Amino acid sequence: MKTYLDCIPCFFRQVLEGSRISRATPKQQKQIIDQFARKIPKIPLDASPPEIARIGYKLLRSVSLNGDPYHAIKQKSNRCALRLLGRLKEKVNTSKDRLFTAVELAIAGNIIDFGAKNNLNIEEELKRILTEENKFIDTQSIFHYRDFSRTLKKAGDILYLADNAGEVVFDRILIEEIKKKYPDKNIYYAVKGKPVINDALYEDAKTCGIDKTALVISNGTDAPGTVLALCSKEFKQIYKSADMIISKGQGNFESLSSEKRDIFFLFMVKCPVVAKETESKMGNIVLLYNRNHKGRIVKNKKTS
Amino acid sequence: MKTYLDCIPCFFRQVLEGSRISRATPKQQKQIIDQFARKIPKIPLDASPPEIARIGYKLLRSVSLNGDPYHAIKQKSNRCALRLLGRLKEKVNTSKDRLFTAVELAIAGNIIDFGAKNNLNIEEELKRILTEENKFIDTQSIFHYRDFSRTLKKAGDILYLADNAGEVVFDRILIEEIKKKYPDKNIYYAVKGKPVINDALYEDAKTCGIDKTALVISNGTDAPGTVLALCSKEFKQIYKSADMIISKGQGNFESLSSEKRDIFFLFMVKCPVVAKETESKMGNIVLLYNRNHKGRIVKNKKTS
């Protein structure tokens, strides 16, 4: 997906909010904004939003003391989500279609996001997910579940692209469910190579216990998405050979939506531009099969 | 009021929305964004928001065919508001305190704004004003009405600073009420000197019939507020000698809030930065006497 002009005001908002989370002084905040503004005229809009946002987040790291301004936030997200693990498992255990519920929960966990919305009360939001009884998808949601379960059945190697810290616990629920149903599947769980916003790193995957059911790998980059041109050779090999890709979050959708692979994008719609691009509404949860996308969004729901 | 860093993403949003209203091609839109981005590092934040926004709106005029991209929108606002004139007058005629109601309506008319919010359905919004029965102010509103009516009684020359086209009809209601109560008052109605967003120009004041009760003057500038350093000598003389200033809209508040004159700011709070500055909430309508402002906001309500 290319960058829309509407993304530009949003990049500035993200850079400003990020500079505050990085505890930059007001003078430093202005300097970061100025540096980012100087780069804008040099950026072609056929780059995807994560490619451009990456430039802003790189500037933030330069003022952050530990190079990872969102570290404490990520740890908190992991703790909050881990506290919910038992209840999430129970939700799957008591559901009629375990895999379907696990998919729903994995997408609902995408509510944790500091790029699109940073004033989030993680604990409150996550609790809300658990109390909302099957209200995640409605008749307007894009939910290519039939394609998802069919593709999953056939796939040998699955590449699961992580999004945010904390959300990893919700991914774990889905991955454990897949492994329960298909123990022979080989699942790679890809995190970011360097800190960017609150995106999950190796330590988050480990803290959330995903390393017990999947092989955690790094994509080798610091882009808030999967910008293939910047990813490591090792990652690209797995990306190329995987039979199915499960991609979490808007950032991964924005950077991979034009790819010709079998990708299932699982995310919550958090900005008007992605809402427009996917013909969805803000706040919708989406399970989008890229082969159904681009002019022929098929809204197939849960299969019987 | 100085410019906050939070204003910067908002300036970009305004410039982008304005460039679309100006019917700039996508390429031109990007060029305008780029030109504005190049200026950001050169702008000191002790300038008021209208001083900086002016730079963006100036760029828009360069791509507009008639130099006034909001011309049709302004004409529509005038027409919509004029259709309500009879009902607005009736509202004043049937109220217990005519002046109080006229002040309320003048502020409610400030809902017309294409800087803060451009996807406005003018007709719908204006109708809403008329159906909301005295719900404009609540116990949390800043409403220095006692000071307003006392100052008005004593004032000889009054300078009334206009904000948006269409809103002028609501100003007319208040000005006619002042003239009815105090026929000897001398009222100057100041519009912008050049087109900027949907701010009222001389032709809007005339279309809305304000020239029959007040002397319409120009402030001589194209800033979306009253940036005194840029105003004409003639305007500044009147500004200096007036006994009372009635200032409409956020832009005038942002540019004059630090002034040591008797100014009454009448506006609707439309952005989080102004909400913070005035200790108000978004959507509040405010009648703020600057002598009560800055550390001692006195929430005096309607006098008996």
pLDDT, tens digit, for every residue of A115-131?
Answer: 555 445 666 766 666 67
Distance from CA of B286 to the nearest CA of A (A): 27
Distances (CA, A) of A58 to A11, A32, A36, B6: 13, 10, 10, 20
One-letter amino acid at A17 equals: E
Cβ–Cβ under 8 Å, residues B280 and B303: no
Instruction: Please indicate if any CB of chain A lies within 8 Å of the CB of B119.
Output: no
- Model pLDDT for residues A186-225, shown as the tens digit of each residue: 999 999 999 999 999 999 999 999 999 999 999 999 999 9
Whether the Cβ atoms of residue A210 and residue A175 lie closer than 8 Å to each other: yes
Mean pLDDT of A131-155: 82
Q: Is B41 on the interface with A (CB under 8 A)?
A: yes
Q: What is the pLDDT of residue B175?
A: 98
User: For residues A63 and A138, which has the higher predicted lDDT (pLDDT)?
Assistant: A63
A37 close to B (CB below 8 A): yes
Q: Would you list the domain boundaries of chain A? A: 7-63, 88-289
Tell me if A9 and B9 make a contact (CB, 8 A cut-off). Answer: yes
Residue B37 to residue A34, Cβ atoms within 8 A? no
Cβ contacts of A255 within 8 Å, gap of 6 or more = A1, A48, A49, A50, A51, A223, A225, A226, A227, A228
pLDDT tens string, chain B, 304 residues long: the values are 999 999 999 999 999 999 999 999 999 999 999 999 999 999 888 999 999 999 999 998 888 777 899 999 999 999 999 999 999 999 999 999 999 999 999 998 998 766 555 445 666 766 666 676 556 666 678 999 999 999 999 999 999 999 999 999 999 999 999 999 999 999 999 999 999 999 999 999 999 999 999 999 999 999 999 999 999 999 999 999 999 999 999 999 999 999 988 899 999 999 999 999 998 888 888 999 988 754 444 444 443 3
Q: Which residues of A touch B30 (CB under 8 A)?
A: 5, 45
- Please name the residue of chain B whose CA is at the shortest distance from the CA of residue A7: B13
> pLDDT tens, A249-261?
999 999 999 998 8
CB count, 10 Å around CB of B285?
23
CA distance B30 to chain A (A): 7
pLDDT band at A134 (very low <50, low <70, confident <90, very high): low
Asked if B99 and B178 touch (Cβ cutoff 8 Å), the reply is yes
**Residue B291: what pLDDT?**
80
The minimum CA-CA distance between B40 and chain A, rounded to whole Å, is 6
Is the ipTM here above 0.95? no
Which pLDDT score is estimated for B16?
96
State the DSSP string of A167-189.
HHHHHHHHHHHHHHH-TT-EEEE
User: Which amino acid, one-letter code, is at B92?
Assistant: V
**Which residues does residue A267 pair with via DSSP β-bridges, in sequence order?**
A286
Q: Mention the CATH class of domain A88-289.
A: alpha beta
* Interface check B272 vs A, CB under 8 A: no
Give the C-alpha separation, B64 to B94, whole Å: 45
**Identity of the residue in A13, A30, A38 whose CB atom sits nearest the CB atom of B45:** A30
Residues of B in contact with A38 (CB under 8 A): 37-38, 41
- Closest chain B C-alpha to A119 CA, distance in angstroms: 14
Q: Do B33 and A5 touch (CB under 8 A)?
A: yes
Q: Is domain B71-289 classified as CATH 3.10.290.10?
A: no
Calculated CA dihedral for residues A277, A278, A282, A288, nearest 10 degrees = -140
CB atoms within 10 A of CB A155: 20
Closest CA to A159 of A72, A114, A217: A217
Query: Which residues sit opposite A289 in a β-bridge?
Result: A264
pLDDT, residue B178, reads 98
Q: Is the dihedral of CA A28, A29, A34, A35 positive or negative?
A: positive
Task: Note the Cα A65 to chain centre separation in Å.
Answer: 26
Closest CB from A8, A29, A40 relative to B5: A29
For the record, the structure tokens of A62 come out as 């330069």
Residues 6+ apart with CB under 8 A from B33: A5, A8, A40, B12, B15, B16, B19
Tell me what pLDDT residue A296 has.
41
SS3 A155: coil
Amino acid at B195: P
Q: Please report the number of interchain residue pairs, chain A to chain B, with beta-carbon separation below 8 angstroms.
A: 47
Q: Tell whether A30 is within 8 A of chain B (Cβ).
A: yes
Q: What is the mean pLDDT of residues A227-232?
A: 97
Q: Widest CA span of chain B, in angstroms? A: 59
Burial per residue of B127-161, b for 16 or more beta-carbon CB atoms within 10 angstroms, e otherwise:
eebeeeeeebbeeebbbbbebbbebbeebeebbbb
Q: What is the pLDDT of residues A230-247, one digit of tens each?
A: 999 999 999 999 999 999
Of B5, B13, B45, the CB nearest to A16: B5
Of B294 and A132, the structure prediction assigns the larger pLDDT to A132
Q: Taking CB atoms and an 8 Å cutoff, what residues of chain B touch A29?
A: 5
DSSP B52: H
CA–CA separation, A158 and A185 (whole Å): 7
